[in-house]
A = this chain, B = another copy of it.
Amino acid sequence: MLPAERKRRIVELVTAADGRSVEALADELGYSKATIRRDLQELESQGLIERSHGGAVPVTSVGHEQAYGQKEVQNLEAKRAIAERAVEELTEGQVVFFDAGTTTMQVAQSAPKDGSMLAVTNSPRLAVELGKEENDVKLTGGTLRRRTRSLVGPTAESFLERTNFDLLFLGANAVDVETGLTTPNEEEARVKELMVKRASRVVLVADATKIGERSFVTFADLSDIDMFITAGEIDDETRERFEAEDVTVVVATPEAPTL
């Protein structure tokens, strides 16, 4: 691969996924970490990306200094591992709903784009990602929430009241065995509640940092979930409580699967 082409792809990968680790880039592009770092250095000086320990993130349009630390980049690794596992749940011809969120974005990136499914989402970003090649994509419509870049409100809700899905990839800010799945925003909770109701099978994707967290509004109980794909350290109590509700718990490992 040509250096210029490699740099272009780095920018693509980093901006599309809200950041990527040096290791992941080295892995995916087949170059050493040293080379990736040199590229990142150059790309940063060109203002195309922003570096942080462990990787790089897209340029933040305004002040919105994110100051990604190592932890955030590690979470990216975890999300990628989750995504790799999650796409195994896809089967030909399904109608699949992708919830808005950074973890589901990773799932969308890993998903095949060969037209084998009908993808539906409430996130414009995921819509653009999912629609890259052959897939059919539908968007719920509605009001764009800035924080999460998801569509909410009456338009989104009325869409979800008249549609049905085979599979749902659901994200969550907070997963707790007592309060269930919670999120800070009421409108968003309402939309998530509807998508859970409308899906035959619900796959929750959330890294372990979300476990034990509680937020404002509950939108689903543990029993609403069919499968929980996570990464990192999951405590035994949580796992048992999920399994008591017949939820399949899968812990994805960030190890590179193919070498």
Mark A residues whose CB is within 8 Å of B.
2-5, 8, 11-12, 15, 18-21, 46-48, 50, 52-57, 60-63, 65, 68-69, 124-125, 127-128, 131-133, 136-144, 146, 149, 151, 153, 155-156, 159
Contact = CB atoms under 8 A, between A and B. Distances in A.
Contact of A131 (B2, B19, B68, B146): B146
Contact of A52 (B2, B62, B137, B153): B2
Contacts of A56: 2
Most chain B CB neighbours (cut-off 10 Å) among A15, A62, A127, A128: A127
Nearest to A156: B141
Copy count, this protein chain:
2
B155 A159 contact: yes
Nearest to A46: B63
Contacts of A131: 144, 146, 149
A128 to B, nearest CB: 5
Given A61-B132, A136-B144, 20 more contacts: A2-B53, A2-B55, A2-B57, A3-B53, A3-B54, A8-B18, A8-B60, A48-B65, A62-B133, A124-B127, A124-B128, A128-B128, A131-B149, A137-B144, A138-B141, A138-B143, A139-B144, A140-B155, A141-B141, A155-B159
Given A12-B68, A124-B127, A159 B137 contact: no
Given A61-B132, A133-B62, A144 B159 contact: no
A141 B125 contact: no
A61 to B, nearest CB: 5
B5 A19 contact: yes
Contact of A65 (B2, B15, B68, B156): B15
A38 to B, nearest CB: 12
A212 B167 CA distance: 48
